[in-house]
């Protein structure tokens, strides 16, 4: 029983320390990622290179000096969340487009 209560406490603590992102931070993050992609030194064909999070942290420090965003865990987790959210939206739009094309092809 003590193991269970201990894990509950640590779980609650991790939830309390989750960082709430504001829209300005998301905009800055995406802008910096686009800039990194355009520079070309931190990306390969479809992915960023290993050290890109550290460079992203430095870039964001210029845009948002008081945000104190760290490569790990802040940027890494936010990028993962944004990627998951946009994948869901992309899939929904793609399915809607496919359904519309099917309806058009059968004359509905």
**Residue 21 near residue 85, CB atoms below 8 Å:** no
- pTM score, two decimals? 0.64
Q: Which of 19-28, 46-55, 81-90 has the lowest mean pLDDT?
A: 46-55
List the domain boundaries for the chain.
21-105
pLDDT > 90: percent of the chain: 35
pLDDT tens digit sequence for 62-98: 999 999 999 999 999 999 999 899 888 888 888 888 8
Q: Among 32, 37, 60, which residue's Cα sits nearest to residue 48?
A: 37
Q: Please, which residues bridge with residue 43 across strands?
A: 48
From residue 29, alpha-carbon distances to 8, 33, 36, 58, 99 in Å are: 32, 6, 10, 11, 34
């Amino acid at each position: 029983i003590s193991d269970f209560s201990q894990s509950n406490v640590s779980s609650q603590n991790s939830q309390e320390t989750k960082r709430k992102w504001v829209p300005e931070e998301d905009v800055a993050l995406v802008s910096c990622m686009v800039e990194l992609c355009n520079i070309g030194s931190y990306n390969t064909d479809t992915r960023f290179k290993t050290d890109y999070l550290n460079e992203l942290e430095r870039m964001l420090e210029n845009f948002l000096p008081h945000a104190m965003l760290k490569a790990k865990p802040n940027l890494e987790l936010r990028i993962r969340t944004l990627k998951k959210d946009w994948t869901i939206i992309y899939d929904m739009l793609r399915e809607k487009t496919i359904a519309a094309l099917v309806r058009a092809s059968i004359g509905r």
